[in-house]
Amino acid sequence: MAKLLWGKVYFRDTFAGFIRQEPGYGSSFTYDPSYLHSNMPVIAYNLPLQEASFVYQTELPPFFDNLVAEGWLEQAQSRVLGKRYSSRFELLLAFGSDCAGAVSVLDPNPEAITDKLIDVSDPKELAVLTSRASLSGIQPKLAIIEKNGIFYPVTDNKISTYIAKFPSEHHADLVANEYLSTIATKKLLPEDTIVDMHIGKIHGFTDEVLIIKRFDREHEKRIHFEEFNQLFDQISNTKYHGSYEKIADFIKVTPRCLATEVYRLYLRILAGILLGNTDMHLKNFAMLHTTSGLRLSPIYDQVAAALYGYTQLALSLANKENLSIFQITTEDLINLGKAFGLNLQTIDMAFNSLKKNQTAAKDAIYNANIGSNILKQSIVNLIDKIWNRTFI
């Protein structure tokens, strides 16, 4: 019989409990008694403090499954373990010391790592060899740190404070697209909080990359947050299963959340639609655990994905599924606001706010020293097309 995997779970630097594979197909998490009596917070919204184990019929409990790498990084991590394929549990144990948020997972019997299956001529893959960081998302990315103004890939036992995103194999201008879309969002939503980023280089790398300051790190302190896929207790590959109304409903009914957060969420969704960001799924919205309650995290992962032919909206909107961004009507956006509990005056205020800030957003795109003129004009044209088709 194969040996069942298990790992030690930490909240920041405090041992919190154990994650285990269960016989057959399943998994569990159990708080350690010392953690339960230490006046520490829950490690996850759906894992309240209790003595009984939380048992799931999934390979990993959903909260932990969303911490595992995806796409290029997931495949590179498997090769570092000397395998063509590794289970998500194996990947979490091997690379869970630097995850998103405040929780980390350590393997009591770490697997050996190897360079026999990686491309040693690729500095990204070599960086994975020495890193124990886990980042979700399909785009190639690495956890990095900054020393004296120079950025380096994070190594064992270090906590990353930045994320580097690399050009996509299929979309060479993706890095510039995200940068331009983000600075446009800052102009569209000047009163909101948005991740800090810039284009730069990593020591030992030739490519220019998008360097993003992690909002879940304060110096080397881990900040507690959860994506909505975790808050809804869903595993990672169900991030496209849901609706924007469900996110708003969560905020409205969850104790100690602010009603004003619903309006912020509505503005974010409108701005994302205006920019052609069709990839606004459940892992691209998150809430910070604060002493005052759950609060929306800064905006992140803002990309004009519609430029690449991805026109279908990630989640259902106004009770419509698989909706093309070019099929969204003004009535749909108004009905979305009503479903959020907003009155017509507030909805009108949101539309007028975007209208007022549109020129500043376009100017930010045009004046940026990043991205080709063709890309800049394409994003601006997309904004105009969606505004004239949907918002007017």
Residue 192 falls inside a structural domain: no
In this prediction, residue 338 has a pLDDT band, given cuts at 50, 70 and 90, of very high
The pLDDT value given to residue 85: 87
Torsion angle of alpha carbons 246, 300, 63, 26, nearest 10°?
90
Residue 139 forms part of a structural domain: no
Co-location of 383 and 240 in the same domain: yes
Domain membership of residue 118 (yes or no) is no
Cα 142 from Cα 164, distance rounded (Å): 5
pLDDT at 353 over 90: yes
Helix (H) or strand (E) holding 379: helix 373-386
Half-sphere exposure of residue 341: CA atoms within 13 angstroms, side-chain side: 15
**Percent of the residues in the chain that have a pLDDT greater than 90, as a whole number:** 84
Core vs surface per residue 84-121: b (16+ CB within 10 A) or e: eebebbbbbbbbbbbbbbbbbbebeeeeebeeeebeee
Q: Provide the residue range defining the domain that includes 63.
A: 1-111
For tokens 């909260």, the residue is: 63
Tokens of 236: 């990672």
CB-based burial label for 152 (10 Å; 0-12, 13-18, 19+): middle
Q: Is the pLDDT of residue 38 over 70?
A: yes
Structure tokens, 165: 């995103």
Could you say which of 111, 135, 151 is where a domain stops? 111
pLDDT bracket for residue 294 (50, 70, 90): very high
User: Around Cβ 389, how many Cβ atoms within 10 Å?
Assistant: 14
Rounded-to-5 percentages of helix, strand, coil across the chain: 35, 20, 45
Tens-place pLDDT, residues 301-334: 999 999 999 999 999 999 999 999 999 999 999 9
Distance between the two ends of the chain, CA-based, in angstroms?
64
**What does DSSP say about strands 54-56 and 27-31: parallel, antiparallel, or unpaired?**
antiparallel
- The three-class DSSP label of residue 45 is coil
Structure-token match 């393997």, residue found:
107
Q: Answer whether residue 6 shows pLDDT above 50.
A: yes
CATH number of domain containing 346: 1.10.1070.20
Total count of residues recorded for the chain: 392
Per-residue pLDDT reduced to its tens digit, 201-254: 999 999 899 999 999 999 889 999 999 999 999 999 999 999 999 999 999 999
Decide: 159 and 141 in contact? Cβ < 8 Å.
no
Task: Count structural domains, the chain.
Answer: 2
Confidence of residue 352 (pLDDT cuts 50, 70, 90): very high
pLDDT of residue 2: 57
pLDDT of residue 174: 95
Task: Classify residue 342: in a domain, yes or no.
Answer: yes
Q: Tell me what the mean pLDDT of segment 9-29 comes to.
A: 96
- Whether the pLDDT of residue 157 is over 80: the answer is no
318: in domain: yes
289 within some domain: yes
Average pLDDT over residues 342-346: 98
In a domain, 252, yes or no: yes
Question: What is the residue-wise DSSP string for 309-365?
Answer: T--B-SSBBTTB-S-BTTT--HHHHHHHHHHTT--HHHHHHHHHHHHHHHHHHHHHH
Check residue 172 and give its pLDDT: 83
> Contact, 34 vs 57, CB < 8 A?
no
Distance, CA of 177 to CA of 101 (rounded, Å)? 26
| Two structure tokens written together for 308 | 């690449």
d(CA 258, CA 251): 7
**pLDDT at residue 118 tops 90:** no
Q: What angle do CA 262, 267, 273 make, to 5 degrees?
A: 125
- Tokens linked to 353: 């706010």
Domain termination residue (choose one: 63, 92, 111): 111
Mean pLDDT of the residues in the chain: 95
Residue 134: inside a domain: no
Last residue of a domain, one of 82, 111, 140: 111
Annotate 276-294 with b (16+ C-beta within 10 A) or e (fewer): bbbbbbbbbbbbbbeeeeb
User: pTM score, two decimals?
Assistant: 0.95
Q: How confident is the model at residue 1 (pLDDT cuts 50, 70, 90)?
A: very low
CB 17 within 8 A of CB 50: no
Q: Assess whether 228 and 362 both reside in one domain.
A: yes
Residue 114 has pLDDT above 90, yes or no: no
